[in-house]
Amino acid sequence: MQDTTIALVQMQSKLGKIQENLNKMECYVEEAASKKADIICFPEMCLQGYSRQPLTNLAIDLENNAFIHQVKQMAKDKKITIILGIAEKNESDKPFITQLVANTDGSMLKYRKTHLGRSEQPHYSMGNEINVFNTPKANFGIQICFDMHFPEMTTILSLQGAEIIFTPHASPTMVGDRKDIWLKYLVARAYDNCVFVAACNLVGDDGTGHSYCGGTMVIDPKGNVIAEDFNGKESMLLTKLDATKMNLIRSQDSMSMANSFYLKGRRPELYGELVIAPKQV
């Protein structure tokens, strides 16, 4: 990994106002690019706005879509990798909750949310792939909101070479103190798997009365919070990720226990229970 500058955006996304939301995102992309950010990450389903009700009529087909073309062109023109959330059209009536990755060469990749919350399951489809994305400076994975409650996924991403985990959220105000909640488990994901964890969330009212609590946070591979913003307003958090500690731990050149890459000590032969369906309680 090389030192990498990332930008995390907490933004207000109006439900169904795709062009309006995209125009706002373009302003953040321009600002991030002007400050030499390598990667910018936006919240879950920020393009159309998040809804726990069916979004079939707003779901986007990734082929020949003007909004998607605009995102790809932004990434190419500004030389910055853009990660943004959409509801992706599916052959069924249940869209995917997808995070797009627009690369600086004009190409686009995607990750589809693999773990859906109980309220999402009636209206969305689950993805079935865990992806690692490569940039010239760092490899990263994506875990969308509820995905982060499954530590096995973070471990798999780390074992596959991910050095940063971006975790875009659409967590409502009613859930509670977002900072307090994130500190309960995001720190552990970073520390146990030797990854940077970078989280962002929707903020404010979506135009229909639903409100999101916002928040951005960056945690280093030793579980230290190195940047955060919980001002409750739209904002962008810019953070330079120093690769020194990451590279030291991953290389295993140091004999110090303090620099252990714990995943190297795994004993998969003991973990059979992880792939067995749990007994009904």
Domains of the chain, CATH where assigned: 4-275 (3.60.110.10)
The pLDDT score that the predictor gives to residue 281 is 46
The pLDDT score that the predictor gives to residue 162 is 98
CA distance linking residue 219 with residue 193, whole number of Å: 12
Residue 85's DSSP bridge partners are 99
Residue 261, classed as helix, strand or coil, is coil
Distances (CA, A) of 69 to 34, 49, 50, 220, 249: 21, 19, 21, 34, 39
What is the full per-residue pLDDT of the chain (281 aa) written as tens digits?
Answer: 999 999 999 999 999 999 999 999 999 999 999 999 999 999 999 999 998 777 778 899 998 899 999 999 999 999 999 999 999 999 888 999 999 999 999 999 999 999 999 999 999 999 999 999 999 999 999 999 999 999 999 999 999 999 999 999 999 988 888 999 999 999 999 999 999 999 999 999 999 989 999 999 999 999 999 999 999 999 999 999 999 999 999 887 766 777 889 999 999 999 998 888 776 54
The pLDDT score that the predictor gives to residue 155 is 97
CA distance linking residue 125 with residue 116, whole number of Å: 8
The pLDDT score that the predictor gives to residue 251 is 86
Is residue 143 within 8 A of residue 165, CB to CB? The reply is yes
Terminal Cα distance for the chain, rounded: 44
Count other Cβ atoms within 10 Å, centred on residue 271.
Answer: 10
Sign (positive or negative) of CA dihedral 181, 139, 5, 169 = negative
